Structure 1
Amino acid sequence: MHWLIDDTFIDQHGARALIPHLFVDQREADLVQMVVDALLRVLDDLGPTAPDNAYLDHPEWINVLNSAGVAYLALSSGKPRS
């Protein structure tokens, strides 16, 4: 969470702003943006100080996991990077 939001400011500027510095193309940026959006929905609902289990038990947490899995697979697929 800290890397996705605190260190990159994707929540404020969008992942596409980090092309080509962090992401190769719009596809990569959009996949990571989906993770950030899903995570922000949970954070907006619970706030930043909820206990860990509240996040894991939140009904939207499955969307965080699913989008993170898709992004991980795409970013680690071995596709050559320029």
Structure 2
Amino acid sequence: MKIAYQFDSNHIHICEGQLGTNIEFAITIINEELMLLGLKEVQKIFKNRATTDVLFLLYGQNQYRVIVRNETYLEFLLELKRQGLLLEVGGN
């Protein structure tokens, strides 16, 4: 139940949204069935917060695009780690 992050300039996009700056990045699902359960748990934590939006969009086979508010991006990654979902964060 781990996520492999694509954390580089090809997969990370920062875009301005109505609610402020968002960070969009790609994740790869290692074990889709288990992972979707884990992602739903993490998404629940952020879903009802006024300060953030966490969106999971189907990107390709076993891949999703994730959009997170800039100010809660690190908190989001830490929550994934706490849940045991974070495989690696790489890049430059």
TM-score using structure 1 length: 0.33
Which has a greater percent of helix? 1
TM-score using structure 2 length: 0.30
Which has a greater percent of strand? 2
Q: Rg: which structure is higher? A: 1
